[in-house]
Structure formats: C-alpha cells, structure tokens
Amino acid sequence: MAQNPIRIGFVGCGRQATAAWYPNFATIPELDLAACCDLQPELAERNARFYGARRWYTSLEQMLAAETLDAVMVVGPPLMHYECGKQVLEAGLHLMMEKPAALRTEQAQELAELAAAKGVITQIGHNMRHAPGVQKFRELMAMPAFGKLLYLESRYFMPSPMWHETADVRTGWNYMIFQATHAVDLARGIAGEIESVYARLSVGEEGRFAIACAVAFASGAAGTITLTGCTPNWTCQLEAAGDARAHLRLVNLHTLEFEPHTAESGYRPSPGIPGNYWKPATRDNAEVRSGYWGQMQAFARAVQRGQPDSPTLRDAHRAMVVCDAILDSIEQRSPIDLPKS
Ligand SMILES: NC(=O)c1ccc[n+]([C@@H]2O[C@H](COP(=O)([O-])OP(=O)(O)OC[C@H]3O[C@@H](n4cnc5c(N)ncnc54)[C@H](O)[C@@H]3O)[C@@H](O)[C@H]2O)c1
C-alpha cells in the first residue's frame, strides 16, 4: 500500500538550498513540501512560490508552532545547522541537514546524542553517497568478481585554496569541514570505519596545498584520502582493488570502469561479468548525478519505514572526528589512532 508522503518544513532558501535541494521536490512523490522558512521574507516567499510550499515563514519557531510536520530539512551555514537542528530535534521531529552538521565536532556530537535520545531519524547531506555512480561502485564491489576490498583511494581535488587561518577554528578546519569531508565521508561510506590516519601537507603559493593521507580501515583494508586546493577544476575519484584481482574506478561520479581478472589475459574484461563500463543515462540531471535527488528520496523512505539511511548525524560527527585526526597528524607529523566509535 502506498504510504503517505512525509510532510516537510524547509529552513533556508539561500543559494545551495535553491540550486540543489528545492528543485527535487517536484519529482519525489514521497516528499510533501508543506512550508518553507528563511530570515529573509523575499527568499521564503520566492521559494514557496517557485517550489509549491503551501505556507512560508521567517522564523523556524513560528513554523514549528503553526505546522504539523513529520520532518525538517535545514540548509545553510554550519552554525545555522547546529542551532536550527537542535530546535528541530528538541521538537521530536526527524531531521535532514546539509553538511557540515555543525561548526565544531562537539556540536555535531551533541546533536547526534540528542537525536538518539529523541529516537528520530537523521540524515546529513553528504550527497555523493547517493550518487548513482557511487551506488553502482558499491554494487560491483559486492560481487565475488571483486573479492575482498584491499585498497580504496578517495580523491577530492579542488581549484580554490581554503587553507588559511580563520578566527575561532584551527588552521585548515574550514577546508576540512566544507570540502575534505566529502572524501572522508565517501571513504567511510564505502570501506567502513577508519581506525587511523597518517597525513602530510604540502603548501605552496597563496595557500595552495595538497594533502596525502594514508588510512587504515577497521576491515583491514588500506587506503588513501588525497586532497588538493590547487587544481584547475574540481575532480573526484574513487579507486578500489579487490583480492579477486579486480580494479574499480569512478571518475567525477559519472564514469565507472570495472576491470575484473580473467583467466585468459589476466587483464581484459570477461564477457561473463556484467557492467565493466558504466555511465549514467543522459536524461540524468546534475542533481541526480551528484546524489542530491537520491539523498532526499532516501531520507523520505527512511522516515516512512522508520529505519535510518546514511549518513546519519553519527556518521557526520565521525567524519568530523576523522577531519580533526588528519589535522592532528599533519601538525604532529605522526600517525593518529582514532577513538573507537
Ligand atoms: N553538498 C555540497 O556539495 C555543497 C555544495 C555547496 C554548498 N554546500 C553547503 O551549503 C551550505 C550553504 O548553503 P547556502 O549556499 O544555501 O547558504 P546561503 O548563505 O546562501 O543561505 C542560507 C540562508 O539561510 C537563511 N538563514 C540563516 N539562518 C537562519 C535561521 N535561523 N532561520 C531561517 N533561515 C536562516 C539565510 O537568510 C540565507 O538565506 C554550506 O553549509 C555548505 O557546506 C554543500
């Protein structure tokens, strides 16, 4: 039997929310955009008109008081995530937020603990986990032809250096929680918990930089997280090797190559093994391809069935713990063991 759509109140009608989140409501029947909210009335009114919210507000408090909602989505800066997220959780509603979940690791932990105490479902917008290419990557990794994961690289190259000193937070922290967190979350999402990191930083002109970080996963797999703020374009890559002598590579979330071992050549794809080259259908738009659409649908379905999808607030907190450990490792020039999750 079809379930009722999840009644959503949406907080934040800024750039990212309007470009990557609101357009998806029209094509996800599991979601009902009941109301939206922004401190700036012209933005709240505009998004209600463009995307079909029945009412709009300039205060989350008023929205929560006036609406009957199942869940709230929050998209804006990290401090807003922490403050609005806390209000939503205290009201006992399910919560989905953009990344980063908070500015500080302790704040993300506080939110995760509050969510657990309230027994609500949470999800954080590490959108790439829900990209169709990443899901295909995981499907292929689960095949016997891939074997056990031995190695995973999660690469995230950016043009803009953000490696500068900022008031209130340690050097590099803003880069870690806004950008590096994508690579960290993907590594955890694909290969599981991270036990230790050993990172080196190289800094050049105008704060341009690169980081190579060796990672040990709890599964026993080895890995690397490689990051830059110096390349001409954004590039993201996942590369994995399995003990069935297979090689998997996903470039920029959209081009996937699977190279299983074959007895004849050792290297050429075998006709017996499906999907050794994959690209998303051309009708996919950018929101689908990069996972924004999929993550919203996954959240709606998680609320409907009463079981969380991922990444949860706990995952978001853990990604921040890993980000902290990478900075510790750079500063101390030594490997860092992470606390048990
Ligand atoms: N997943 C990704 O790849 C990705 C890409 C780009 C940006 N982002 C994330 O998006 C976020 C930035 O979002 P944005 O570009 O929409 O920001 P923005 O500054 O354009 O918009 C934030 C909006 O929230 C409103 N707001 C602030 N506090 C509020 C409150 N208490 N109640 C109601 N409204 C409030 C502001 O008026 C503003 O309109 C960042 O956290 C960034 O990490 C993620």
In a domain, 98, yes or no: yes
Does 275 share its domain with 170?
yes
Does 179 share its domain with 68?
no
Q: Looking at ligand 1, which atom is closest to the CA of residue 58?
A: 33
In a domain, 23, yes or no: yes
User: Mean pLDDT across the chain, nearest whole number?
Assistant: 93
Quote the ligand 1 centre to 12 CA distance (angstroms): 6
Give the residue, out of 10, 16, 129, with the most ligand 1 atoms within 8 A of its beta carbon, to mutate for a pocket test. Answer: 16
Measuring from atom 20 of ligand 1, which residue has the nearest CA?
A: 14
Q: Looking at ligand 1, which atom is closest to the CA of residue 81?
A: 41
pLDDT at 277: 67
Does 182 share its domain with 242?
yes
Q: Looking at ligand 1, which atom is closest to the CA of residue 125?
A: 1
pLDDT at 283: 61
Question: Is residue 287 within 8 Å of residue 293, measured between CB atoms?
Answer: yes
Does 298 share its domain with 236?
no
Question: Is residue 14 within 8 Å of residue 81, measured between CB atoms?
Answer: no
Does 305 share its domain with 176?
no
Measuring from atom 33 of ligand 1, which residue has the nearest CA?
A: 38
pTM recorded for the entire structure: 0.95
In a domain, 1, yes or no: no
In a domain, 246, yes or no: yes
Alpha carbon distance 248, 317 (integer Å) = 28
Does 111 share its domain with 226?
no
Does 324 share its domain with 181?
yes
Count of C-beta atoms within a 10 Å radius of residue 205? 7
In a domain, 66, yes or no: yes
Domain interval for residue 42:
6-128+292-311
Give the residue, out of 37, 74, 79, 80, with the most ligand 1 atoms within 8 A of its beta carbon, to mutate for a pocket test. Answer: 80
Does 145 share its domain with 185?
yes
Helix ranges (DSSP H) in the chain = 15-16, 41-51, 60-66, 78-90, 105-118, 132-141, 173-175, 181-191, 286-289, 292-305, 313-332
Counting the structural domains of the chain, the total is 2
In a domain, 25, yes or no: yes
In a domain, 301, yes or no: yes
Measuring from atom 13 of ligand 1, which residue has the nearest CA?
A: 76
pLDDT at 264: 61
Alpha carbon distance 279, 238 (integer Å) = 15
Quote the ligand 1 centre to 98 CA distance (angstroms): 8
Quote the ligand 1 centre to 102 CA distance (angstroms): 12
pLDDT tens string, the chain, 341 residues long: the values are: 568 999 999 999 999 999 999 999 999 999 999 999 999 999 999 999 999 999 999 999 999 999 999 999 999 999 999 999 999 999 999 999 999 999 999 999 999 999 999 999 999 999 999 999 999 999 999 999 999 999 999 999 999 877 777 778 898 999 999 999 999 999 999 999 999 999 999 999 888 999 999 999 999 999 999 999 999 999 999 999 999 999 999 999 988 999 888 766 555 555 555 556 677 665 667 677 799 999 999 999 999 999 999 999 999 999 999 999 999 999 999 999 999 87
Give the residue, out of 10, 75, 181, with the most ligand 1 atoms within 8 A of its beta carbon, to mutate for a pocket test. Answer: 75
For the stretch 176-228, pLDDT in tens is 999 999 999 999 999 999 999 999 999 998 889 999 999 999 999 999 999 99
Long-range contacts of range 22-28, CB-CB < 8 Å, 24 or more positions apart? Answer: 22/47, 22/50, 22/51, 23/51, 23/287, 24/287, 24/292, 24/293, 24/296, 24/297, 25/51, 25/52, 25/296, 26/51, 26/52, 27/293, 28/293, 28/296, 28/297, 28/300
Does 158 share its domain with 235?
yes
Measuring from atom 30 of ligand 1, which residue has the nearest CA?
A: 39
List of residues 6+ apart from 83 with CB closer than 8 A = none
**CATH number for the domain harbouring residue 47:** 3.40.50.720
pLDDT at 276: 63
Q: Which residues line ligand 1 (CB under 6 A)?
A: 11-17, 37-40, 43, 60, 75-78, 80, 84, 98-99, 125, 127, 178
Give the residue, out of 11, 63, 98, with the most ligand 1 atoms within 8 A of its beta carbon, to mutate for a pocket test. Answer: 98
Question: Is residue 217 within 8 Å of residue 195, measured between CB atoms?
Answer: yes
Does 260 share its domain with 307?
no
Does 124 share its domain with 159?
no
Does 280 share its domain with 246?
yes
